[in-house]
Structure 1
Amino acid sequence: TRQDRLDEIVIRLAGGAAEEVLLGARSDGAGGRQGCDLWQATALAASLELSLGLGGSLAWLAAEDDFDGMLAIARRDPEIRRTVEATLQEQTARARRMIEERRDKVETLAQVLQDRGCVSGYEVIAILTTPRPRASPSELTPHPDNPKTPTL
């Protein structure tokens, strides 16, 4: 569905949005090279308009997996480019709102990542679903299925 694709775009834009919310500015880490988060988000937004019939037009202009072709069309067509940009801006704003609403948990997650260099899926779920306002990394205990994977 369109919403599923928008959710995928939000995921790819969330890192830069988190930098904006938590650090006050975005770094260049999400962009700059083919295959980066920004490239993927842009290609997904273009696919809504040019391939999937989930945008303002039902015309099929490129294959869903032809990201380079879709991006070339978006570069040449100002209307498509504006639509893709609007989608990216809307989904970035959505990502920022999500992060702002969960800022304490995102900060805890960032601290665990900084302390350990990686974070497991169990840890992410434990941190994001805990009812406490903030879970500190020292509160994490080993997960019963994997002693190296903490839970709250």
Structure 2
Amino acid sequence: MGAEVPLITRSAGEEEDARALGAHNVVASTDIEQMAVVNGCFGLVIDTVPYKHDINHYVATLQPAGTLVMIGHFGAIEPALNSTPLMIKRRAVAGSFIGGIRETQEMLDFCGEEGIVFDIEMIDIPADQCRFRPDAGEPRQIPLRNRYGFVEERSCRVVGRRRFSDPKSE
């Protein structure tokens, strides 16, 4: 679709999978030298980490007027966000919990039009082990067999997004 898509990851050993899923390059967020190479490079960073983490070094990867969008994270940002790079270089941090029905349908329509398909796995989890419950306060991490992300439904059935592929490129 024309965009160069890198993966920034903390996890060693994801490079082969990332490239198979379409990433053009992989940057280890724990490697200071690799992160320095991408400082100021990106117009948009989509952060899908659903728990507290330091976003300051991701903000540093943004171009002037770039935006970091946090998807699915709710709660405090710790350590605190340094606002100086935001103001000096007109960078922004935005966020979204989830898309609504209309946005989800638009995304599914787009995927259908572009031939983008994905592989899902359904995992039943007892209600008392759901990652987020309004009565439980903070989100909790739960062990999942899925490596690439998940979406919780209200029933606590977890839909894992494992593999994305474009049949046009196969």
TM-score (norm 1): 0.26
Q: Which has the higher contact order (CA 8 A, sep 6+)?
A: 1
Name the one with the larger helix percent: 1
Name the one with the larger strand percent: 2
TM-score (norm 2): 0.25
